[in-house]
Structure 1
Amino acid sequence: MNPYDKAHELARALTDSEELTALLEAKRLVEQDPNDKLLMESFRQKQMEMSTYQMQGTEPSKELTEEWTKLVTEVSGKPNLAQYLEAEGRVGQLMQDINRILAAPFEELNDSDQG
């Protein structure tokens, strides 16, 4: 059994998966509406700013927090954007699950390092 062949098989399965298909369709819908696309770009930018604060262990300003809250509410109220983020979350969960499965054969290596 060749791991590379299985990796290519997995890539094909992901391409055909319900999760990725739904994400691509949701992305297409967002990109069709210039307002939705612009709002999603603003959301991503603000999301990165908020993540930076979180990674640094610092609190964002009250103004930034209020902007983020308002943006999240606005995005949540747009069906195409909410659908896109939901589909993105499902794909993210799928990838986390796959990574966990792929890491399992290497757990013994990690266990022996600690003992």
Structure 2
Amino acid sequence: MSVTEKAQELGSALRETEEATILRAAEMNLDNDPESLKLITEFQKSFQQIQNARNAGENINSEELEAFNELQEKVNVDKNIQAYFAAQQRFNQLLQQVNNIINQVLRGEACSPDCCDSCSGCS
């Protein structure tokens, strides 16, 4: 079996995880709530504008910061957005764990099923 076939197999296995299922459900809930979707879009746009201004060495005025902080507060209490962020974080942790195991194997420190609970790649 080729490396790309193994990668496809891994992708399929990841798609079937609980973390991926929860993330897809959270994405659907977010997509089906126009208010939450609008809010997260506005937040991401505002965040990007502030980040671009900072990277360009520009000052951000207090009105822009206040508007951003208000958006952030709304995002922090929106249940759909928070569920999406939490699901995304759990899935990213799973991907990081998989990446750690791949890196461990590449270094020649193979992870066996007998020691998997205690190895650094799996924890």
Could you tell me how far 1:60 is from its partner in structure 2?
3.8
Letter in 1 for 2:24: L
Q: Does 1:70 align with 2:70?
A: yes
Structure number with bigger Rg: 2
Letter in 1 for 2:86: E
Q: Does 1:32 align with 2:32?
A: yes
1:9 maps to what in 2? 9
Greater RCO, 1 or 2 (C-alpha within 8 Å, sep 6+): 1
Number of aligned positions between the proteins: 106
TM-score computed with the length of structure 1 as normaliser: 0.72
TM-score computed with the length of structure 2 as normaliser: 0.68
Structure ranking higher in helix proportion: 1
Could you tell me how far 1:74 is from its partner in structure 2?
0.4
Q: Does 1:96 align with 2:83?
A: no
Q: Which structure 2 segments of 5+ residues have no match?
A: 109-123
Letter in 2 for 1:33: D
Pick closer, same or farther for the CA change 1:68–1:95 going to 2, 3 Å.
farther
Pick closer, same or farther for the CA change 1:97–1:61 going to 2, 3 Å.
farther
- Tell me the distance in 2 between the aligned counterparts of 1:17 and 1:53: 39
Could you tell me how far 1:62 is from its partner in structure 2?
2.8
CA deviation map 1:31-69 (0-9, x unaligned): 112111111211221232344356x28564333322222
Identity over aligned residues, as a percent? 27
Q: Which structure 1 segments of 5+ residues have no match?
A: 108-115
Pick closer, same or farther for the CA change 1:77–1:45 going to 2, 3 Å.
same
Where do residues 51-90 of structure 1 align in structure 2 (5 Å cutoff)?
51-53=51-53, 56=55, 58=57, 60-90=60-90
Alignment root-mean-square deviation, CA: 2.6
- Tell me the distance in 2 between the aligned counterparts of 1:6 and 1:69: 45
- Tell me the distance in 1 between the aligned counterparts of 2:21 and 2:8: 18
Letter in 2 for 1:82: Q
Pick closer, same or farther for the CA change 1:20–1:77 going to 2, 3 Å.
same
Q: Does 1:46 align with 2:46?
A: yes
